[in-house]
Structure 1
């Protein structure tokens, strides 16, 4: 085949195992042979409405097999896939459509945006059925762009990170080396596919090995248990809050999790209490570290070290390297790293060091070759001349038996410059008292690290990727009852 990119994957997999299940969603399954035919038909339909090499095809909607079909069809034509975050506002979506210059938008009926070439997924099956079955083999080199993924945009406008076919291929190699993926894997794909982790850390590696991906349109802890038991799921990826929700589900104590070989977690630091909840069930719980720009794996904690090095983000991936700058900032290099940002040479130049290493914006430390992610550079605050890393404080607070999750930010203070402000979400039915929490933290943290302000909340604001939106928390006015004493 002249197509060396992802667009060739459905046909390559179909000729090896055409009758094996590729995807299951809402009770409907598709084999690899059926999928290859559907992708080719869809590629012809996209070509009929003007999609060609280098054009951008956007997709807006919840997780569904049509997401993967559209991506592979786009890549069959040498075009670039732009998955849009379905949780964003219309204005944010329209900005990304305009910035990427998307030629076509495929969207779920529940998600609409301004575009003159929009195809609604409510007519998707009929539209796809009219596509030709004639084979396509557009020449595509692995160095060509495959995806444009917009970053969360917690400050300013989001940037479109470009990932090449090679970036995704090398990330797949790295993941398969770290996890020992087998051809009989059953992956539960419940994190949103419009973010790189669910796509590149579960669906694509499972696809390459000919495994079975069970796709859900939304996250629900109880439904997760049902699907694990029904399909004998062997592995899944999730962010910390998802795994915390699952462990807090009423179904957790009696759930049959015996089929699970490994659980992958990333996206943010994982509290020790969450890790212990899974290890106490005898489950292999592995963390990793990465970014959209690293496709996404930069480090991985292999199963053999998952207990001994629990809490670590692991060692650099096999085909990749990592170093710490003088500031402690994590810098990475490797074939999985983005070539830059879409139509943004200024941001691209700022993202790399003079000798070509990608600057992550995260602070880390290395212990026995294993990376520990301390915090975001921009999240650190200085209190009385001392650096305070909110992730460390959050980890200590989450050890409290009544705390489900917490976010800590630095806020201005006349005496200390900045002090901590903690937003705490208790477990269902639990009560968290500010004074009691400070007493709990006293033997665990230095005094200057203990938050001056502690507020109990029902939920935390989040980005589309599920990360806590700390800029929104920083903008909230301080409680009107006056400044409590720092103890």
Structure 2
């Protein structure tokens, strides 16, 4: 998909200069496409003047704000590689994350200055403040960056994996991946220049950047930027009709479901999608009753991320499905004949797939098959109609008495219990069966439950070997920044 890609910010500014790109709800500023491009030109000049050149890595530590995207586009203009950092992490963790990419400088916002300075001092790199240094560059910039077309597969920015199995890996993101993701998601949900979305997921995560903020920019639509997730403010924005495209992870829909303001919103005017994990059936049906068809999807940091998204016509009929692979991604199930029903590891290829991990050739080799397909590590099932269901992570599956147990299947059952808001299941060692299930549940507000009652309730509905032997009630689960349950942390509780 193309060898060279035009300067994205410059091209968008050429097409629709005066249209609104970003409404920054943290700073109260509006940014037209022309303003974004001019600011990106100025930051590109400033970075070059500071000695950074193509291929250098530039870390950034900030909440969601327009200057993040200004810097992202400045990096595309210069060939500098942006490294967004998790602002929830302390300095020692950030230093460990950055060790493998060796940045030349760090951009930081004032509210995170203490952590930013500690990282910059320890790593002996330059520190630029968004509200002083970058603001000065933007105010004094006086010439276009004159960027050449961008090599489609040149590293543009790096996104770090969660690091649950060791030091986080830096997943390479390219301009080609961004355009392929834009095509995939636009085809699936029908993005237009008249659409408006909201950016509240963190920008050190692929969903924060790419669902849907960067595709919305490239399409010519508008994004409202929240510094971070504020459910009441977000619902107010939706109620005011300022959002017609919405993406959230299951934890977001779960939070909405508990808010009395939910009924005051015209959900029929909003196209809703969900990713990160399948939205439980009770939530799908709850939002459907209110006029919102929430479309389950699937993607990874390594896939740009959009691969699958359910189509609205069969969303309620095929509850649990993530639909079919979108236009610019091929999918196969390992060991299953092409187009046939069956179950196997989901493997992917296409222009939206990462070239690999920055500075980690061994991890790159392990992630791709000999014929070039990305191994997702997810087990999928294709039905007779061609719809794909993600069964579970291969690493989460456990074997009990010789039988495969998929925690996601047990979680779906527990999520249907009238007293349970959310469930998570992991495997634990067992002397007799090898492994058995351990379930953790969060109760619905105002509900009570005897955990011991869940065992016979499950036994009436699933095979005995799938029934967890332990049930624990929790106030909340340990989660990643994107809202996913951190199952390794749950396993530690069992030790």
Q: Which residue number in structure 1 is paired with residue 90 of structure 2?
A: 89
> Is the Cα contact below 8 Å between 1:189 and 1:213 reproduced in 2?
yes
The secondary structure found in structure 2 opposite 1:423 is strand
Distance 1:389 1:286 in 2: 23
Q: Which residue number in structure 2 is paired with residue 432 of structure 1?
A: 449
Q: Which residue number in structure 1 is paired with residue 491 of structure 2?
A: 474
1:229-287 C-alpha deviation (Å, 9 max, x unpaired): 23521011111111111112121122343431x11211112211121121111112111
Q: Which residue number in structure 1 is paired with residue 293 of structure 2?
A: 284
Q: How much does 1:197 deviate?
A: 2.0
> Is the Cα contact below 8 Å between 2:184 and 2:307 reproduced in 1?
no
1:320-331 equivalence runs, <5 A: 320-326=329-335, 328-331=344-347
The secondary structure found in structure 2 opposite 1:328 is strand
Q: Which residue number in structure 1 is paired with residue 438 of structure 2?
A: 421
Residue range with higher mean Cα deviation, 378-387 or 11-20:
11-20
Q: How much does 1:185 deviate?
A: 0.5
> Is the Cα contact below 8 Å between 2:42 and 2:145 reproduced in 1?
no
Q: How much does 1:134 deviate?
A: 0.6
Q: How much does 1:4 deviate?
A: 4.7
Distance 2:456 2:109 in 1: 50
Aligned length: 474
Distance 1:122 1:132 in 2: 15
Q: Which residue number in structure 1 is paired with residue 58 of structure 2?
A: 57
Distance 1:256 1:307 in 2: 19
Q: How much does 1:124 deviate?
A: 5.0
> Is the Cα contact below 8 Å between 1:269 and 1:391 reproduced in 2?
no
- From the superposition, tell whether residues 396 and 301 of structure 1 become closer, same or farther in structure 2 (CA, over 3 Å): same
> Is the Cα contact below 8 Å between 1:62 and 1:217 reproduced in 2?
yes
The secondary structure found in structure 2 opposite 1:208 is helix
Q: How much does 1:57 deviate?
A: 1.6
Q: Is 1:299 aligned to 2:308, yes or no? A: yes
Q: Which residue number in structure 1 is paired with residue 417 of structure 2?
A: 400
Q: Is 1:363 aligned to 2:379, yes or no? A: yes
Task: Give the TM-score of the pair, scaled to structure 1.
Answer: 0.93
Distance 1:44 1:96 in 2: 28
Q: How much does 1:9 deviate?
A: 1.8
> Is the Cα contact below 8 Å between 2:428 and 2:494 reproduced in 1?
no
Q: How much does 1:227 deviate?
A: 1.2
1:301-350 C-alpha deviation (Å, 9 max, x unpaired): 12233223221011011111111113821111111111111111111111
Q: Which residue number in structure 2 is paired with residue 30 of structure 1?
A: 31
Q: Which residue number in structure 1 is paired with residue 393 of structure 2?
A: 376
Distance 2:141 2:131 in 1: 20
The secondary structure found in structure 1 opposite 2:267 is coil
1:201-223 C-alpha deviation (Å, 9 max, x unpaired): 30111112211101111213222
Residue range with higher mean Cα deviation, 344-353 or 13-22:
13-22
1:3-33 C-alpha deviation (Å, 9 max, x unpaired): 9547x22221222222211111224311112
> Is the Cα contact below 8 Å between 2:43 and 2:134 reproduced in 1?
no
The secondary structure found in structure 1 opposite 2:484 is coil
The secondary structure found in structure 1 opposite 2:151 is coil
Q: Which residue number in structure 2 is paired with residue 352 of structure 1?
A: 368
Q: Is 1:180 aligned to 2:185, yes or no? A: no
Distance 1:288 1:128 in 2: 40
Q: How much does 1:94 deviate?
A: 0.8
Q: Is 1:463 aligned to 2:480, yes or no? A: yes
> Is the Cα contact below 8 Å between 2:55 and 2:81 reproduced in 1?
yes
Distance 2:260 2:371 in 1: 52
- From the superposition, tell whether residues 17 and 117 of structure 1 become closer, same or farther in structure 2 (CA, over 3 Å): same
Task: Give the TM-score of the pair, scaled to structure 2.
Answer: 0.92
> Is the Cα contact below 8 Å between 2:23 and 2:224 reproduced in 1?
yes
The secondary structure found in structure 2 opposite 1:33 is helix
Distance 1:32 1:305 in 2: 37
Q: Which residue number in structure 2 is paired with residue 484 of structure 1?
A: none
> Is the Cα contact below 8 Å between 1:44 and 1:131 reproduced in 2?
no
Question: What's the RMSD between the two structures over aligned residues?
Answer: 1.8
Q: Which residue number in structure 1 is paired with residue 100 of structure 2?
A: 99
Distance 1:412 1:205 in 2: 44
The secondary structure found in structure 1 opposite 2:404 is strand
> Is the Cα contact below 8 Å between 2:39 and 2:70 reproduced in 1?
yes
Distance 1:126 1:72 in 2: 16
Distance 1:156 1:63 in 2: 27
Q: Which residue number in structure 2 is paired with residue 443 of structure 1?
A: 460
